[in-house]
Structure 1
């Protein structure tokens, strides 16, 4: 007991473990039947081997499970413990070999168990112990050799037990296993290896058993007690080719209503002599009664045994012909005479049945009949005959008055022959005929008097003939015809009055013909009655959108089939094509090549509940907004393989009653969850074989499929991502990144980029050299030059760095250099051509020169202003001036430069406003020599300022410079 509890707990844990990964309304290997009210599940063709994996996620309210065509080999204990409400379980067409003892535990409600078409060879005696309410058990087509004692001991409610096609050879064990089944009514043991019905002395079949099938065994005797089969009503012993007549001696078969002995070694005379079976309840098919003498002998024997016969079956006896009055001496046949599967070539107006005027049904199917002759001259009639069948023969022609001898026949079956000629008066006199089947023949023409006398006809089947044209008034007498089937012919058109008289036609089948046009006037005779119109597989097409609706008069039509028009389908649907179909409930447009559906295509179909559009487009389909706007009663929409690109609310949002939506094999990469939420009645959604992208575009859809409990998404866990190389499943692709506030990040990023793109050009224009200077300063600092460049000014290598353009080099060499380094001035100057370090980067040389000099003298001219290197040098000097607050920059203008030309050089303008600059005296001054001398004195004084090296200069020179400036001074000393 402890072990049992442990197993149960383990099973429950497994179920819960599976359930935690199956949150949404979907199942890994099964599909809930949408028409079963959430109770039936189909687990078919999944190639699964583990049954627990197949049904592990099914809900406990399941009542029917079909697990067919898989690879299951084993059913372990407690497999169905989580399905206590199961009523029907079908595990057929698998490779099932073993079933554990407690495999069906907790299945006390199960009523039907089908384990057929497997490889079961051994069964435990306790395998069915928990199935106390089982009614039907099928072990058909397995490898069961023996039944262990007590295997069915707990199946007290078993009604049907099917053990057909196994390897059972011990009937006594079988009988013992079922003897206590007080409700068993049917036992099928066909196709086993039983040799007799021998049983133990105390074993009886249940009194409830009325049907026993023992066909296709190896029976050579019955060998059972007198009353062993006394309660059996139907006994099939056919195809036991060694079973003799004497086997029935000593067996009580008085209650038997039907016994089948086809292909046995039993002879009729001996059987009737040795047994107490009632002759009228024996099926004499396949018992070698192929001659008239044998048949007449049978009739004589039956006449001594019974007063009448309800059914006389003489099929498969090889009968070639029947002479007149052959069966006349038989007891009255009050039901069926069956002569099927013989070799009859003629029936001669049933003259062999003379005197059998009580017969009601006659069947001569699958014989060699070639024609039905005229019977109006025969003084023979069977007024009680109501059912007549000549199906599956070789009848080529039916002559006039062929059924004159059966005036009251109601069902006449002439289908599946080769009838090419049907006389105008073939059915003359059949005023009571209700059903006429002429399908699958070679009829080419029908005439206005072909059915003239068939006033009571309700069903006329002319399917699969060679009819090309329907002439006027062909059906004018068929005022009660309810179903007319003309499918599978070669009809190209109807004459104007072809359907006159069909006042009560409800079902009209014209599928598989060659109709190219459909005209409303042709359907006018039955406009108030027609409910089903099948135009499947014709050649209907339209070249203009302004064609009048052919259905405008069919106000009662409920089902319309227009699918698979040949050769390329309906390319377009005309304007208001479905006008008048206000009662239509089902519309089939499958397998067409419609280029587009207009927004008003289905506007008139306000009562439509089913619409099939599968494979009905010529490529990629973009459904128009509002195309389904009036289909507010639609409950099922099948739109598979239509090339639909988008799933929008404008298209599907009005389908408020939609319950089943099939969208598999389309091309949309995403589905809007809001549209699914807008379909309040939706409960079944098929998205298989759709290239859903595993991106953030579908993150909401993934979340919806895993959390919704209203809509079943068919086989969600088998849906793959669009990129099959990734081998990802749609239900578990990573969506973590999708839950970031992408809008906020995108806004911030976009704003930053825009600002940068706006500011950078401005910075480039206004601060280009400052940025460039900063870059070079940083690079110098990074190269460990910074500390050396920032040495104290007293240790500077030069008194001044001269910044000039090469065009002004003569002035520097002829004027500046002699007056500052010569004539007793003793200033140390730094010049490009003389003092820059060879092989060193020019920028590094400039930076080093600026920071190795106490002052920087810029010799400004128009050439200087155009030089990039001069601009850098003044930038570096001005940086020291403004940012380090060091008086290091001196400007010398060699020539007058207008204010407007200096406005672009804002850095230089800033220096000029802050510091005094020097102007080189030109030739226009009154005393050039004196002016130049005064210029050099001012420049030398400016170079000495701020340096201790020049503090001992004479006081007279200092006083001179402290005197107020003269007019000449104002010329070269500019504020």
Structure 2
């Protein structure tokens, strides 16, 4: 049963796997787009937890590099979800602790590199699951010992590198690796070992390479057979190691022994050791004078008939004049005198009769010149094939400097100060194939310089001071396939300056001062040239060119025009790349192209790689169709071009594109259809783009997060703009997912409906709407509930609603008859009882609901008053909706049926309730009629407010007037109360 910790890790990995089902972007790693999701690099990240770096990686990972991170700890089960891992790099971090089960489940791991960390201790069970591990590096750490049995499960280990640690006990090291029967290389250099003493265990017999350099060995202290199977033994830089320490030590199988910077006397060592003398590296053994070298040679000659290689590096040799290598056995291979203090060589005569030497090396010395060595029959070193004088101070190379070595094939004079190369310095070297003259001070080359080097294939003249290529300089180099003239000061080629180069395949002219591309330079290369480097020159086009300078280079596959100095390629002619049908790689970075014509790449039908990084800053938008013919393009770099917009038309025909880098541009959004037009896209870099986290990028977010085929570089680290604390991959897009078409349709239909219906409603329902507004307004004013609660204990017996033109009748007739003469009735009049400073609507509502009845004094002026209409509306609301008998109508004057026809609310009240008519002055007995009027009105006011049936109403002894059939509505005037 799995432990709780293990279960937790499995759950976390499962959650990570669920996330990867949706997309292939990773928090801290980048998948190599050419590896089919098998190789990942996690470099220079800021996260300090291993889980944050690796937990979202897929199971398919085979090669994983985690370097230059602030990681200090590798927890248990860190890679348990990566069972297919074969190569793991954890070097150049800050690791201090590696838990015992950190590499659990990595049964397929073959290579593990944890060098350049701060690990001081390892757990004994750390490697127990690494049965297939063949390479392990723990170099440059702080280890002082290995736990017992730490390599017990690593049966297939082939190479173990423990260089530059603090190991002190060699016996413990041997014990820990003794069972590794496939181990071949063990590196223990730069530790603190003092001896090779060991217990009864021995080194694996398979071990053939043992590095013990830079330790504190003062004795070997091992059994005689302990090193019997070693083939390469490096004991250099153990200053205390002496000759006597090798007595009776079996070195018979050693093929290469390094003893430089020790206290071993090499001659005495050869006398007491059973090693094959020809396998000893004599570098750094104090052989700094002719006597010691002659003595060594005599001894070697007694032991050997011939010796393949003689290495005399780091011996402080400064003079070869008195050396006589004739005392040495025949040298059939290389003689190496590098890292000495030689100031001159005076031809190879110092090696006298050693005519079998094939390679002579004198690098890192103090040579000032190479003298003339005229051809001499007695000193023809015909076996010599390679000479190297690199890293010296050679200023001049005189005529016939190599006259005694006519058959050399490789000559290295690079990284010197050669300012004068005699026209005949290389004369006679008819078999020379590789010539290195780079990193010198050459200013001129002539036809005679390479006249006899007819077999030359590679000529490197980079980093000199050549300004002009004279005519026919390379005329005889018909087999030359690589010519490197980069980083010189070439301004032009004289006519026929490149003639004769019939086989030239690679031409490097970068870093010169060429100002134009002359098509005549390249007409001879039409069937051969495949690589042309013109970067970092001064080439400019100020106008359109009719003829392409590359039109004849039908075989060219690699062209570099990047980083033109001063102002770059100001104009990119439409025909510049005409005819380059075979071109596969094009570099235009770091230029200042002001306009990228859509026809520029039309002929590049086989192009697979194109970089325009920083080439067109200021180009706001790529023209549609600019890449229309690049159907074979697999990688496109558009970094830092100042692009503001992209469109589907730009990428429409890039059907094979797999890698797209558009980082460091200024667009705030990327249309998803542009990316969806790239069916094979696998790698997308949109870092350092100010993408806005708004609805216009909702589809881009969905594309980057959920696309199962496209890796978006560091997607989960991409910030929102301008708030960088938010992340692009998870900004809220819920409000964005609306069917705009559907809602726009609804909005349009609603708008048409409203514009059609509103005028009708305005005409028909104006007062009803306005009334509703006042009612709801009062509803929320908190007076509503207060008034209704006090309805049964009303403050007034009646609220008098009248028009100001009828005010005289109200004051002179109504008020004295209802409140005077000992009456107990109390009336509410607006001019007397309304609260000053209060909203008039609130006063009306309060008056209606604070009175048992509302008496409407109806006249023609009343019918025209907006406020009177509101008051009767409120009272009729109580009448019809609350079933309260609260409304009394008093007509001051006769009003015809026609005049009442438009007042529907009043008409409805008059149909349900009887009303009072103020007696006409023309009646027979007006005083009696008025007395009856006031009695009936007082009775009506005092009557209960509960609504009776229609029959009860008919039984009341009100005036037998006809019922009104109209009521107030749609009044257009807005009369004032006052």
TM class by smaller structure: 0.7 to 0.9
Alpha-carbon distance in structure 2 between the residues aligned to 1:592 and 1:937 = 110
**Given the superposition, is the C-alpha separation of residues 96 and 852 from structure 1 closer, same or farther in structure 2, using an over 3 Å criterion?**
closer
Q: Cα deviations across residues 421-476 of structure 1 (Å, max 9, x unaligned)?
A: 11111111111110111100111111122111111111010101111111221111
What is the CA distance between 1:701 and its match in structure 2?
2.8
Q: Report what 2:430 is aligned to.
A: 431
Q: Cα deviations across residues 186-220 of structure 1 (Å, max 9, x unaligned)?
A: 111111112222222x3222222211111101111
Q: Report what 1:72 is aligned to.
A: 71
Q: Cα deviations across residues 847-904 of structure 1 (Å, max 9, x unaligned)?
A: 999x9876655589xxx99xxxx787799999999x99999899999xxxxxxxxxxx
Q: Report what 2:609 is aligned to.
A: 610
Alpha-carbon distance in structure 1 between the residues aligned to 2:693 and 2:761 = 44
Q: Report what 1:270 is aligned to.
A: 268
Match of 2:249, SS? coil
Q: Report what 1:329 is aligned to.
A: 327
Q: Report what 2:399 is aligned to.
A: 400
Match of 1:161, SS? strand
Match of 1:699, SS? helix
What is the CA distance between 1:162 and its match in structure 2?
1.1
**Given the superposition, is the C-alpha separation of residues 596 and 887 from structure 1 closer, same or farther in structure 2, using an over 3 Å criterion?**
farther
Q: Cα deviations across residues 68-125 of structure 1 (Å, max 9, x unaligned)?
A: 1223333333332222222111111223233333333322222111121122222233
Aligned partners of 1:324 and 1:351 also within 8 Å: no
Aligned partners of 2:397 and 2:422 also within 8 Å: yes
Q: Cα deviations across residues 133-154 of structure 1 (Å, max 9, x unaligned)?
A: 2111111112221223332233
Match of 2:334, SS? strand
Match of 2:301, SS? helix
What is the CA distance between 1:751 and its match in structure 2?
5.7
Alpha-carbon distance in structure 2 between the residues aligned to 1:786 and 1:234 = 111
Match of 2:332, SS? strand
Q: What does 1:303-382 align with in structure 2 at a 5 Å threshold?
A: 303-323=301-321, 326-376=324-374, 380-382=379-381
Point out the more displaced range, 45-54 or 344-353: 45-54
Q: Report what 1:592 is aligned to.
A: 591
What is the CA distance between 1:175 and its match in structure 2?
2.1
Does structure 1 residue 479 correspond to structure 2 residue 493? no
Q: Report what 1:42 is aligned to.
A: 41
What is the CA distance between 1:6 and its match in structure 2?
5.4
Q: Report what 1:99 is aligned to.
A: 98
Q: Cα deviations across residues 494-532 of structure 1 (Å, max 9, x unaligned)?
A: 223211111111111111112221122211111211000
Q: Report what 2:213 is aligned to.
A: 215
What is the CA distance between 1:376 and its match in structure 2?
1.7
Alpha-carbon distance in structure 2 between the residues aligned to 1:780 and 1:371 = 112
Point out the more displaced range, 838-847 or 403-412: 838-847
Alpha-carbon distance in structure 1 between the residues aligned to 2:624 and 2:709 = 26
Q: TM-score, normalised by structure 1?
A: 0.82
Alpha-carbon distance in structure 2 between the residues aligned to 1:888 and 1:556 = 112
Alpha-carbon distance in structure 1 between the residues aligned to 2:541 and 2:609 = 24
**Given the superposition, is the C-alpha separation of residues 754 and 692 from structure 1 closer, same or farther in structure 2, using an over 3 Å criterion?**
farther
Aligned partners of 1:434 and 1:459 also within 8 Å: yes
**Given the superposition, is the C-alpha separation of residues 874 and 71 from structure 1 closer, same or farther in structure 2, using an over 3 Å criterion?**
closer
Does structure 1 residue 656 correspond to structure 2 residue 642? no
Alpha-carbon distance in structure 2 between the residues aligned to 1:50 and 1:779 = 63
Q: What does 1:662-741 align with in structure 2 at a 5 Å threshold?
A: 662-725=661-724, 727-741=725-739
Q: Cα deviations across residues 885-932 of structure 1 (Å, max 9, x unaligned)?
A: 999899999xxxxxxxxxxxx999979xx99xxxxxxxxxxxxxxxxx
Q: Report what 2:940 is aligned to.
A: none
Alpha-carbon distance in structure 2 between the residues aligned to 1:756 and 1:618 = 53
What is the CA distance between 1:757 and its match in structure 2?
7.3
Q: TM-score, normalised by structure 2?
A: 0.82
Does structure 1 residue 83 correspond to structure 2 residue 82? yes
Match of 1:177, SS? helix
Does structure 1 residue 168 correspond to structure 2 residue 167? yes
Of 229, 232, 236, the match for 1:238: 236
Of 209, 212, 226, the match for 1:228: 226
Aligned partners of 1:456 and 1:480 also within 8 Å: yes
Alpha-carbon distance in structure 2 between the residues aligned to 1:108 and 1:775 = 80
Number of residue pairs matched? 897
Point out the more displaced range, 773-782 or 202-211: 773-782
5+ unaligned residues in a row in structure 1: which ranges?
790-794, 822-831, 894-905, 916-934, 952-975
Alpha-carbon distance in structure 2 between the residues aligned to 1:168 and 1:604 = 63
Q: Report what 2:945 is aligned to.
A: none
5+ unaligned residues in a row in structure 2: which ranges?
792-796, 816-828, 881-886, 908-919, 937-978
Aligned partners of 2:855 and 2:889 also within 8 Å: no
Alpha-carbon distance in structure 2 between the residues aligned to 1:776 and 1:196 = 107
Aligned partners of 2:855 and 2:888 also within 8 Å: no
Alpha-carbon distance in structure 2 between the residues aligned to 1:797 and 1:627 = 86
What is the CA distance between 1:713 and its match in structure 2?
2.0
Aligned partners of 1:105 and 1:130 also within 8 Å: yes
**Given the superposition, is the C-alpha separation of residues 299 and 754 from structure 1 closer, same or farther in structure 2, using an over 3 Å criterion?**
farther
Q: Report what 1:422 is aligned to.
A: 421
Alpha-carbon distance in structure 2 between the residues aligned to 1:458 and 1:478 = 8
What is the CA distance between 1:631 and its match in structure 2?
0.8
Aligned partners of 1:877 and 1:888 also within 8 Å: no
Does structure 1 residue 56 correspond to structure 2 residue 55? yes
Aligned partners of 2:355 and 2:380 also within 8 Å: yes
Alpha-carbon distance in structure 1 between the residues aligned to 2:551 and 2:315 = 57
Match of 1:174, SS? helix
Q: Report what 1:601 is aligned to.
A: 600
Match of 1:43, SS? strand
Aligned partners of 1:457 and 1:478 also within 8 Å: yes
Aligned partners of 2:803 and 2:868 also within 8 Å: no
**Given the superposition, is the C-alpha separation of residues 581 and 909 from structure 1 closer, same or farther in structure 2, using an over 3 Å criterion?**
farther
Q: Cα deviations across residues 940-969 of structure 1 (Å, max 9, x unaligned)?
A: 99xx99x95799xxxxxxxxxxxxxxxxxx
Match of 1:296, SS? helix
**Given the superposition, is the C-alpha separation of residues 606 and 801 from structure 1 closer, same or farther in structure 2, using an over 3 Å criterion?**
same
Aligned partners of 1:376 and 1:405 also within 8 Å: yes
**Given the superposition, is the C-alpha separation of residues 738 and 170 from structure 1 closer, same or farther in structure 2, using an over 3 Å criterion?**
same
Q: Report what 2:884 is aligned to.
A: none
Alpha-carbon distance in structure 1 between the residues aligned to 2:279 and 2:397 = 34
**Given the superposition, is the C-alpha separation of residues 907 and 720 from structure 1 closer, same or farther in structure 2, using an over 3 Å criterion?**
farther
Q: Report what 1:573 is aligned to.
A: 572
Q: Report what 2:284 is aligned to.
A: 286
What is the CA distance between 1:649 and its match in structure 2?
1.5
Aligned partners of 1:684 and 1:714 also within 8 Å: yes
Aligned partners of 2:858 and 2:889 also within 8 Å: no
Point out the more displaced range, 339-348 or 253-262: 253-262
Q: Report what 1:638 is aligned to.
A: 637
**Given the superposition, is the C-alpha separation of residues 515 and 751 from structure 1 closer, same or farther in structure 2, using an over 3 Å criterion?**
farther
What is the CA distance between 1:297 and its match in structure 2?
1.7
Q: Cα deviations across residues 239-285 of structure 1 (Å, max 9, x unaligned)?
A: 01111112221112222221111111111221121112222221111
Aligned partners of 2:358 and 2:384 also within 8 Å: yes
What is the CA distance between 1:11 and its match in structure 2?
3.1
**Given the superposition, is the C-alpha separation of residues 762 and 496 from structure 1 closer, same or farther in structure 2, using an over 3 Å criterion?**
farther
**Given the superposition, is the C-alpha separation of residues 948 and 611 from structure 1 closer, same or farther in structure 2, using an over 3 Å criterion?**
same
Aligned partners of 1:34 and 1:684 also within 8 Å: yes
**Given the superposition, is the C-alpha separation of residues 704 and 948 from structure 1 closer, same or farther in structure 2, using an over 3 Å criterion?**
same
Q: Report what 1:113 is aligned to.
A: 112
Aligned partners of 1:328 and 1:352 also within 8 Å: no
Q: Report what 2:465 is aligned to.
A: 466
Alpha-carbon distance in structure 2 between the residues aligned to 1:837 and 1:265 = 123
Alpha-carbon distance in structure 1 between the residues aligned to 2:107 and 2:229 = 30
